[in-house]
Amino acid sequence: MDKIIIEGGVPLQGEVHISGAKNAALPILVSALLTDGWCTYQNVPRLRDIDSILQLLSMLGAQIEVDGYTVRINAAGLKNAEAPYDLVRKMRASILVLCPLVARLKTAKVSLPGGCAIGARPINLHLKGLARLGADITLEHGYVLASAERLVGDEIYFETPTVTGTENLMMAAALAQGKTILKNAAREPEVVALADVLNQMGACIKGAGTAVVSIEGVPALKPVSVRIIPDRIETGTFMVAAALTQGDLLVRDCEPEHVGGIIDKLKQVGAAIQVGAKSIHVKGRAPIESVDVKTFPYPGFPTDMQAQFMVLMSVARGLSVISETVFENRFIHVSELRRMGADITVSGHSAVIKGVPSLSGAPVMATDLRASASLVLAGLVASGTTEVNRIYHLDRGYEAMETKFQKLGARIRREKSN
């Protein structure tokens, strides 16, 4: 497996292009299952998770063509209703095929995703919602078996807003008979992006981006040609990198409206930020001030930026508290950051971070996607050499991260591990 080697201490300078959003691309590519002609998707990031979902769609019977950042999918030949353990285990978002399979083939057999590094992450709300639309659901030998002759619209209340749950049920409801209302729906920009695509396919979805989404089912959807929105988490990660290294960065081809919570925190930290139409200029300034952060569903501060922000607070002036309210076990990066000299104490859902003058490079191990990004950021600001091992996770969600940092002046390279 590859590793990343970083000699820290270089302030990042220059311009960085933001890739298409992984978390928007995944459900949107899956939505091709809802129709039976060629759909075209542009600005699809080149990532391991995208390869995994395309592999799954192909296994289900869809034809796939990939040409750089353009992906074409035709699900006319959709025939296999089973998403096997080997693929779902690699990427939880594979559960997104559940509702489209039931809507198109009347049946689905999808492996339960199981536990993952950042907590239990159940799918009970996906299943409860689908049952509400009339599907028979049983669990057998680690698989969800779902079937419905015709899904029928109903009211679904999410106990907690779930991003992929909202997306899954929007896809089911799009082809259901009658009206579905999703209450306490997730409001993430990726949910809105999927609703926009489904509407372009002929669906009738209103209210995406608010807590109440209503969907009037239609008998069929038509193929579509769309562009994937920019990745707000990659945007935030580069913004934090600029503030962290006292750099001067123009983050290009992003959607500033989607990162309001991050911009606000970085201003409080002392960074100078100028927002353009599709770009954000970030200039880091010393000292980095401490601020408290609490993660929330959108439009709150994203849990997917918590680990990266913790690195920034590790070298800030004073004390900060970072509270994680979305996932129950998302501080696995803390022990690695401590090995690099960070002063962090975890108590329940909160981490208390006492800023230190500098971090020191060390061999560290990546444990999940955003934790991996945080270790790379720590390496960029640490003295000496940092070796981030097991970067499999990084490649799942960040396109060519080390190449992008290299272009900004960072001394960073990828090496093959034994």
Active site residues: 116
What does the alpha-carbon distance between residue 237 and residue 234 come to, in Å, rounded to a whole number? 5
Residue 35 within binding range of ligand UD1, rule CB under 6 A? no
Q: What whole-number distance in Å separates Cα of residue 200 and Cα of residue 219?
A: 15
Nearer to ligand UD1, 326 or 391 (CB): 326
Among 35, 164, 235, 386, binds ligand UD1 (CB under 6 A): 164
By CB under 6 A, is residue 367 in contact with ligand UD1? no
Shortest Cβ 186–ligand UD1 spacing (Å): 6
Nearer to ligand UD1, 173 or 288 (CB): 173
Which among 140, 213, 228 is positioned nearest to 171, based on CA atoms?
213
Tally of CB atoms within 10 A around 79: 10
| Residue 352: CB minimum distance to ligand UD1, A | 22
The one among 103, 322, 326, 373 contacting ligand UD1 by CB under 6 A: 326
Q: What angle do CA 273, 276, 278 make, to 5 degrees?
A: 120
Q: Which two tokens stand for residue 259?
A: 């990162």
- Examine residue 115 and tell whether it contacts ligand UD1 (CB under 6 A): no
Is 121 among the residues that bind ligand UD1 (CB under 6 A)? Answer: yes
Secondary structure (DSSP) of 133-157: TT-EEEEETTEEEEE-SS-B--EEE
> Applying CB under 6 A, which of residues 180, 235, 303, 386 lies at the interface with ligand UD1?
303
Of 59 and 116, nearer to ligand UD1 (C-beta) is 116
In the bound state with ligand UD1, the residue whose beta carbon lies nearer, of 124 and 225, is: 124
The DSSP code for 97 is G
Listed in sequence order, the residues at least 6 apart from 366 whose beta carbon sits closer than 8 Å to its beta carbon are 372, 375, 388, 389, 390, 391, 392, 393, 394
Asked if 371 touches ligand UD1 (CB under 6 A), the answer is no
Residue 92 contacts ligand UD1 per CB under 6 A: yes
Sheet holding 293-294, edge to edge: 293-294, 319-323, 350-354, 343-347
Q: Does 31 contact ligand UD1 by CB under 6 A?
A: no
- Alpha-carbon gap, residue 34 to 114, rounded angstroms: 26
If one asks whether residue 386 binds ligand UD1 (CB under 6 A), the answer comes out as: no
Residue 124 as a binder of ligand UD1 (CB under 6 A): the answer is yes
| Spatial CB neighbours of 347, under 8 Å, sequence gap ≥ 6 | none
List contacts with ligand UD1 (CB under 6 A). 23, 26, 92-93, 121-126, 160, 162-165, 186, 190, 303-304, 326-327
